[in-house]
Amino acid sequence: MISLKSPREIRAMEKSGAVLAGMHLGIRQIIKPGVSSWVIEEFARKYFKATGAIAAQIGFEGYKYATCVSVNDEICHGFPRKKLILKEGDLVKVDTVVNLDGAFSDSCWSYVVGKATPEVAKLMDVTKKSLFMGIDQCKVGNRVGDIGAVIQHYTEDENGYGDVREFVGHGIGPTMHEDPMIPHYGEAGHGIRLRKGMTITVEPMINTGTWKADTSDPSGWLAKTADGGLSCQYEHTLVITEDGPKILTSQDPVADKDYLYDDEYAGFLDHYAEVADEVVKEHFA
């Protein structure tokens, strides 16, 4: 069942999205060579506690962590690990979902540890651009297939990358995963029509090699590229409006000004960015 959100519900998700974006701003300060991926989990838990938000992934289908931290050839759902020490040039994907007063938001962001190699820099650039190309298709009257088609054409046909098929975007709110599913591949003009008030995620996962994933990890969660190539992901939660797609998890209200739902978002993010700074200084400086 697809739910259409009221302005009140969208504003609640906007505030939840600002909490999540604030977490990502804080993570930028702690990812560095020599730290473990567990530090990201520690920061997220302390930050969510400080904001009053709930780490919605904990307990979801038995998952135990606030974050998914996937490195290099890991596509998604990697556990944060104390023994996984980040090194110069690693490509790190941090994905999480938060629940603030019943409003959910979901966002993944990719980071490079230290300085990016040309290969990593290009993959990150193409993946992030494909995210916004997909978001730009999220207009009233367009179809779900329009989103996937533009992402697949740009990443695979124009850049020779692999566009992951096994994991897709989704509706969100009032629970974590809802209809409709939002593939990042497909045919333009196919699929359900997008309607005002739908809240969804767009989250392309792009590989340097094959699009195929290896899901044989004994954890039952971690997915890796089938050929050992690098994988990158960016994800935003957004709402479809008569004025186009509006991002609810923006980390940069200036760059994303045309995508903001209203003027309140920047103030929310400023507040939560300050909270993130305080947590970093108190526990991770």
- Domains of the chain are 7-283 (3.90.230.10)
Q: What is the pLDDT of residue 1?
A: 83
Q: Is 36 exposed, middle or buried (0-12, 13-18, 19+ CB in 10 A)?
A: middle
For residue 95, say whether it is annotated as part of any ligand binding site: yes
Mean pLDDT confidence for 227-254: 98
Sign of the four-CA dihedral 67, 72, 75, 78: negative
Backbone φ and ψ of 162, nearest 5°? -105, 125
Banded model confidence at residue 30, pLDDT cuts 50, 70, 90:
very high
Q: What is the pLDDT of residue 108?
A: 98
Mean pLDDT confidence for 111-116: 98
Nearest to 240 by CA among 176, 188, 169: 169
For residue 77, say whether it is annotated as part of any ligand binding site: yes
For residue 136, say whether it is annotated as part of any ligand binding site: no
Instruction: Name residues whose C-beta falls within 8 Å of residue 18's C-beta, 6 or more positions apart in sequence.
Output: 249, 265, 268, 269, 271, 272
Q: What is the pLDDT of residue 85?
A: 98
For residue 235, say whether it is annotated as part of any ligand binding site: yes
DSSP readout, 165-199? -SS-EEE-SSSSSEEEEE-SS--TT-SPBP-TTBE
Q: What is the pLDDT of residue 3?
A: 93
Backbone φ and ψ of 200, nearest 5°? -140, 170
Distance CA 93, CA 87 (A): 14
* Residue % of the chain over a pLDDT of 70: 100
Cβ atoms of residues 94 and 27 within 8 Å: yes
Q: Could you tell me if residue 220 is left (phi over 0), alpha (psi between -120 and 50 degrees) or otherwise beta?
A: left
Distance CA 251, CA 20 (A): 9
Distance CA 127, CA 124 (A): 5
| Average pLDDT value over all residues in the chain | 97
pLDDT digits (tens, 9 = 90+) for 125-136: 999 999 999 999
Banded model confidence at residue 100, pLDDT cuts 50, 70, 90:
very high
Q: Which amino acid is at 111?
A: Y
pTM of the model: 0.97
pLDDT digits (tens, 9 = 90+) for 132-149: 999 999 999 999 999 999
Banded model confidence at residue 285, pLDDT cuts 50, 70, 90:
confident
- Structure token digits, residue 247: 């991002």
Mean pLDDT confidence for 179-187: 97
Give the other-Cβ count within 10 Å of 215's Cβ.
16
For residue 106, say whether it is annotated as part of any ligand binding site: yes
With tokens 């505030």, the residue in question is: 15
